[in-house]
Amino acid sequence: MTALSDLFRQLDTPTLLLFCAFIGGIIGSFLNVVIYRLPLMMEREFTLFAKNQLQQPLALEDRQTFNLFRPASHCPKCRTPLNMRQNIPIFGYLLSGGKCRHCGQGFGSRYLRVECVTAVLFAAAAWRFGAGIALIGILAFTSALIALAEIDADTHYLPDQITLPLLWLGLLLNSDGLYVPLQSAVIGAAAGYLALWLPNAVFHKLTGQTGMGHGDFKLLAALGAWNGVEMLAFTVFAASLAGLVAALLLRVKKGQYFAFGPALAVAGWCAAVFRTPIQTAFEHWLGNPIF
């Protein structure tokens, strides 16, 4: 990490932004793999466990290797492997028209969206933090939030395989106060979990229904570990507002499941990258410092 940080410091600001955008496109391409395959890997793991416990025979598909690296990227319909040109981030999608060269099956707009969003957010993080270890940490933070937001939007699930490492990485980086003091990070993690767990527990007690998944609790705990307890109020408020707007736009009906993870991810990323202007705006609005 130190060597990469030293490399970043050798770049002037425009070059750093372009370099991070370029890296963001590459990482975004890998995130597309994570977004698509990780839920399937979890499902396959559960299926294999169930079959082993019930002593049922494994199908041929169950025996085939399936992880983030194998099999190679291919068309989901005809299974034709993608060539090198199609694997180029952003441009590969545009050059192929977003379709398989063999069968014409569309790949969906998410692949292009994730690569573009990752490139833009990486450049924004570079502009905000400049070269250094803090930037490298935020790029990892950004990547995790993009993957979690997309997976939750697709499956209504926030995998522990991402939320828990994100939580521990935030505490580890803040052990020396990289973003916030360690005490604020630890309290932020605990308070973040309780901030959603407690109202959900009360709601469940009163109605017998679950209003929110446990993955949301863990994600807010991770955001607290990165951003500190001081930014939790903004994060919950901004996420709730974003979730309300999204629910209205999507015309979510009463009793219908709605993914809250993307709203938390957006609010948490804004709290991390634009912490200073957010604090200034809140202090100006309330008339005195609150953080």
In single-letter form, the type of residue at position 66 comes to: F
| pLDDT for residue 59 | 81
- pLDDT above 70 for 187: yes
User: What domain count does the chain have?
Assistant: 2
pLDDT, mean of residues 87-100? 78
Task: Provide the 3-class DSSP secondary structure of residue 71.
Answer: coil
Same domain (yes/no): 166, 111:
no
47: its two tokens: 């299926």
| pLDDT for residue 290 | 47
Residue 9: which domain range?
1-130
Same domain (yes/no): 200, 111:
no
What's the burial of 37, exposed, middle or buried (CB within 10 Å: 0-12/13-18/19+)? middle
What digits encode the pLDDT tens for the residues 27-48? 999 999 999 999 999 988 888 8
Q: Which of 130, 146, 181 is the last residue of a domain?
A: 130
Quote the percentage of the chain above a pLDDT of 90.
Answer: 50
Same domain (yes/no): 164, 286:
yes
pLDDT, mean of residues 131-145? 95
Q: How confident is the model at residue 170 (pLDDT cuts 50, 70, 90)?
A: very high
| pLDDT for residue 279 | 81
Q: Kind and range of the H or E element at 167?
A: helix 160-173
Mean pLDDT of the chain: 86
State the distance between the two ends of the chain, measured CA to CA, in whole angstroms: 31
| pLDDT for residue 255 | 61
| pLDDT for residue 13 | 82
Task: Provide the 3-class DSSP secondary structure of residue 106.
Answer: strand
Do the domain assignments include residue 143?
no
| pLDDT for residue 32 | 94
Helix 182-207 × helix 232-250 angle, to 10°: 50
In single-letter form, the type of residue at position 115 comes to: E
> Which comes out higher in pLDDT, residue 284 or 129?
129
| pLDDT for residue 98 | 72
- pLDDT above 60 for 289: no
Q: How confident is the model at residue 145 (pLDDT cuts 50, 70, 90)?
A: very high
Q: How confident is the model at residue 291 (pLDDT cuts 50, 70, 90)?
A: very low
Do the domain assignments include residue 138?
no
Nearest to 234 by CA among 290, 158, 187, 288: 290
Do the domain assignments include residue 136?
no
Do the domain assignments include residue 118?
yes
Q: Which of 114, 130, 146 is the last residue of a domain?
A: 130
- pLDDT above 70 for 3: no
Same domain (yes/no): 275, 213:
yes
Do the domain assignments include residue 43?
yes
Same domain (yes/no): 191, 276:
yes
> Which comes out higher in pLDDT, residue 137 or 108?
137
> Which comes out higher in pLDDT, residue 204 or 121?
121
In single-letter form, the type of residue at position 238 comes to: A
pLDDT, mean of residues 170-184? 96
> Which comes out higher in pLDDT, residue 228 or 6?
228
| pLDDT for residue 4 | 60
Contacts of 68 (CB under 8 A, 6+ apart): 33, 34, 37, 38, 41
What digits encode the pLDDT tens for the residues 249-280? 777 666 667 789 999 999 999 999 999 888 88
- Does 199 sit behind a cis peptide bond, omega within 30 degrees of 0 on the bond before it? no
Q: How confident is the model at residue 229 (pLDDT cuts 50, 70, 90)?
A: very high
